[in-house]
């Protein structure tokens, strides 16, 4: 089916790798309006959330017909709290249409026995029912009928960034360097909108599987089940139960439960590193020292002589050295163990816009082999030069040590 849902109602901290993650999709032109409304900072009841959302309430029978009775061959993906089905509706009346006609949709169906899933289902409606932006996936409607809880989204034909980076199936071709920069920019714009004064939302689950791509590879953030309102007044953070995806969550958040917008920025840095390397944030199939991408890559990111060891070999020769170093520098800044040293989302957008504008004018750049050859023949092989190189590498090479609270629901 070729599409990939970011995640199906993710819950507490879990492994970054889930082979069953799949995606939604839709017409690239939808969701282009930016809402001026803000999400109320005070908790609201379920009735208040449903009544205030700008969404269609679908009868269960309508969605049953749209997905051909939730047939197994309509499944786009499945996870711990539900499955996502492909369906068709009339784009004007939003009623069920014959397969192959009308508008393609993705229908997420909640497992009926899941309480946590219900809270995340409601959170999706709370946020996506009020916030609109070109880089947020569009939520069309929902269904709340008896024990049935479903969400209806636009369909994203290119699936998730995760699939294009990591799957080796013929359908998912490796993203070119220019497309990776474009996707990173789109995701940064979505994050900047969430962090803006209009929204004041902390995403809390920024990862490759939650970045979905339309037919033109425009990135849209999906899955807002873990999103939280940002701090208000003089508060510097939101205290909350530690939830998200292992490998992407910021270390200080995992240790203390203190959530800030800079927690999302750390996760953005992890995804930038995945784009650079073509490696997963956590990959237990690799040698022990290489299983955690951030820990493995840190020593290479600040060194011009070593950076090529991190780069994805499948896009060799598609980039210039200067563009690679700019992205690596951004990743290092985002991954700082001190949140105050991480850039904000607007700064990421500006940096990536400059890079995106210049990437189309650059040559193919030096290949890995050329870069490695220069290193091999340089004087950097001397002990003195090697010591100097180490001194210029990332200052945060050693991860900060935090005491983890005993109540943290961390799972590996």
Binding residue numbers for ATP: 108
321 by Cβ neighbours in 10 Å (0-12 / 13-18 / 19+) ranks as: middle
Residue of 18, 205, 214, 223 marked catalytic: 205
- Give dist(CA 298, CA 310) in Å, integer: 9
Annotated binding site: 108
Q: Is 205 a catalytic residue?
A: yes
> Radius of gyration of the chain from Cα atoms?
22
Cβ 23 vs Cβ 76: under 8 Å: yes
DSSP string, 233-299: TT---EE---BS-TTTS-HHHHHH-EE-HHHHHHHHHHHHHHHHH---SB-TTS-GGGSBHHHHHHH
Tell me the helices (H) and strands (E) count for the chain, helix number first. 12, 12
Cβ 210 vs Cβ 223: under 8 Å: yes
Summarize the chain as % helix, strand, coil (round to 5). Answer: 35, 15, 50
How many other C-beta atoms lie within 10 A of the C-beta of residue 404? 12
Pairing between strand 148-154 and 139-145? Answer: antiparallel
Reduced to 3 states (helix: H, G, I; strand: E, B; else coil), residue 110 is strand
Contacts by 235-243 with C-beta closer than 8 Å and gap 24+?
236/260, 238/202, 241/12, 241/409, 242/12, 242/13, 242/405, 242/408, 242/409, 242/410, 243/10, 243/11, 243/12, 243/13, 243/204, 243/205, 243/409
Q: Tell me which residues are annotated as active site.
A: 205
């Amino acid at each position: 089916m070729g599409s990939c849902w970011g995640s199906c109602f993710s819950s507490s901290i879990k492994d970054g790798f889930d082979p069953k993650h799949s995606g939604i999709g839709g017409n690239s032109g939808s969701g282009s309006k930016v809402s001026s409304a803000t999400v109320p900072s005070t908790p609201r009841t379920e009735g208040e959330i449903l009544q205030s959302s700008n969404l269609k309430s679908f009868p269960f029978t309508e969605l049953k017909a749209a997905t051909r009775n939730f047939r197994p061959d309509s499944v786009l993906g499945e996870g711990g709290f539900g499955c996502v089905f492909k369906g068709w509706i009339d784009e004007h009346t939003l009623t069920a249409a014959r397969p192959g006609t009308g508008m393609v949709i993705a229908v997420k169906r909640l497992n009926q026995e899941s309480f946590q899933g219900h809270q995340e289902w409601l959170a999706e409606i709370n946020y996506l029912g009020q916030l609109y932006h070109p880089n947020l996936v569009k939520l069309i409607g929902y269904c709340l009928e008896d024990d049935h809880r479903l969400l209806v989204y636009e369909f994203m034909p290119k699936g998730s960034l995760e699939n294009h980076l990591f799957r080796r199936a013929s359908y998912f071709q490796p993203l070119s360097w220019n497309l990776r920069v474009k996707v990173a920019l789109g995701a940064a714009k979505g994050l900047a909108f969430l962090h803006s004064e209009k929204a004041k939302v902390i995403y809390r689950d920024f990862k490759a599987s939650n970045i979905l791509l339309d037919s033109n590879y425009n990135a849209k953030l999906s899955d807002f089940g873990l999103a939280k309102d940002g701090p208000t007044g003089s508060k510097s953070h939101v205290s909350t139960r530690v939830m998200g995806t292992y490998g992407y969550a910021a270390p200080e958040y995992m240790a203390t439960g203190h959530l800030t917008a800079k927690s999302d920025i750390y996760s953005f840095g992890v995804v930038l590193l995945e784009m650079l390397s073509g490696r997963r944030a956590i990959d237990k199939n690799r040698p022990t020292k290489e299983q955690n991408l951030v820990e493995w890559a840190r020593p290479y990111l600040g060194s011009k002589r070593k950076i090529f060891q991190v780069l994805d070999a499948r896009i060799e020769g598609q980039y210039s050295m200067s563009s690679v170093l700019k992205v690596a520098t951004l990743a290092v800044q985002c991954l700082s163990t001190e949140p105050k040293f991480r850039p904000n989302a607007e700064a990421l957008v500006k940096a990536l816009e400059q890079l995106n504008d210049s990437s189309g004018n650059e040559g193919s750049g030096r290949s890995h082999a050329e870069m490695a050859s220069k290193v091999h023949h340089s004087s950097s092989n001397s002990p003195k030069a090697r010591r100097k190189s180490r001194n210029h590498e990332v200052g945060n090479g050693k991860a900060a040590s935090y005491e983890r609270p005993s109540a943290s629901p961390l799972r590996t």
